[in-house]
Amino acid sequence: MISIGFAAAFLIAKRGSLRYTAGMLSLRPMLRKDFDEVAELIFLSTNSWYQEHLGRKIFQGDPADCRLFCEVYEDLDPECGLVVENVSTGRIVGSCFFHPRETHVSLGIMNVHPSYFGKGVAARLLKFIIEEAEIRQLPLRLISSALNLDSYSLYNRFGFTPSEIYQDLIITVPEKGLPSPGKSLPAVREADPSDLVGMGRVEFEVSGISRERDYCYFLENKNELWTTLVVENGEGGIDGFLVSIDEPASCMIGPGVSKSAQVAEALLRAQLDTFRGKTVVFLLPAKERELVDVAYRLGARNCEMHFAQVRGDAQPIAGIIMPAFLPESA
């Protein structure tokens, strides 16, 4: 196992100057020159598992589309990408991202080359990130597939406990938009920089986590990838927010939090309206019967299930969370 001392040194060392090697596999920081190879790995690894087990692919476009993951995670958390490299071939066989935040460390998308499934590559990445969280004395959080038992078993063996079950729902939004809700819902508007504090407050109130850098990133939207919507309350605060991204590698609504099902429905409908004529995925807590039924009435169908998992303490949820995979928002 990687020592605490190595992990600490790794984090403060000049980028790429340290690596941890065991056998023919080397753990090192992800560099920008790795992004194309990591994108190809994400594309191949994800599609390979889903094709074999569920008979379908997740990524339909080009492997280069998955470079989006590297670029977004690097923008948010510079130098927090890891790769495992075969030292004899120089090929990257595993990759992962981690995200140190104020209240927790979040584990981003993890991928292993199909030829290295079951050979300890994911465990090596996970051990490093666990020690990073332990150094910071913070919980480690992630969103993982409930259908991938190998993945679930890996996290479970390393001390993660499921805290929430989410239904992955997919819908093709009609060109003319959604039907009327037939009831009054809270007003939704596009977020602006003045909403930063309110977004932080409502997420901390609902879930006990804070990630100010993420809110700033969404609101600044320098790469014009994100749409962020909010619902105000009568006291000048925010009762909920919901983000979306529309890119070939990630066409998804989330992350977001809401104080109530009504707020969540208003935000979801407003985000769906921005995807007219397109197919989009979103996650809803399985226990939120009212919201799930709304999704079904709109024509959504289940495409997968995910667990929110935590290694360490987690505050009970006091509202509704709609997580996302980019950036990981457990």
Angle at 25 between CA 23 and CA 31, to 5 degrees: 150
Domains within the chain, CATH numbers bracketed: 4-138 (3.40.630.30), 165-322 (3.40.630.90)
Structure-token pair, residue 193: 């920089």
pLDDT one-digit tens code per residue, 274-296: 999 999 999 999 999 999 999 99
pLDDT for residue 2 is more than 80: no
Helix (H) or strand (E) holding 74: helix 67-76
Q: How many contiguous H segments (helices) and E segments (strands) does the chain have?
A: 9, 15
Query: Using only C-alpha atoms, what is the Rg of the chain?
Result: 20
Q: What is the pLDDT of residue 279?
A: 97
Highest mean pLDDT among 13-27, 184-198, 315-329: 184-198
Strand pairing of 250-258 and 279-285? parallel
Per-residue pLDDT at 20 exceeds 80: no
| Nearest-angstrom CA–CA distance, 270 and 292 | 16
Helix 67-76 / helix 212-220 crossing angle, nearest 10 deg: 120
Give this prediction's pTM: 0.91
184: which residues sit within 8 A by CB, 6+ positions away? none
Q: Between vectors from CA 75 to CA 73 and to CA 81, what angle results, nearest 5°? A: 40
Average pLDDT, the chain: 91
Q: What is the rounded end-to-end Cα distance, in angstroms, of the chain?
A: 26
- Under 8 Å between Cβ of 213 and 231: no
Using 50, 70 and 90 to split pLDDT, how confident is the model at 10?
Answer: very low
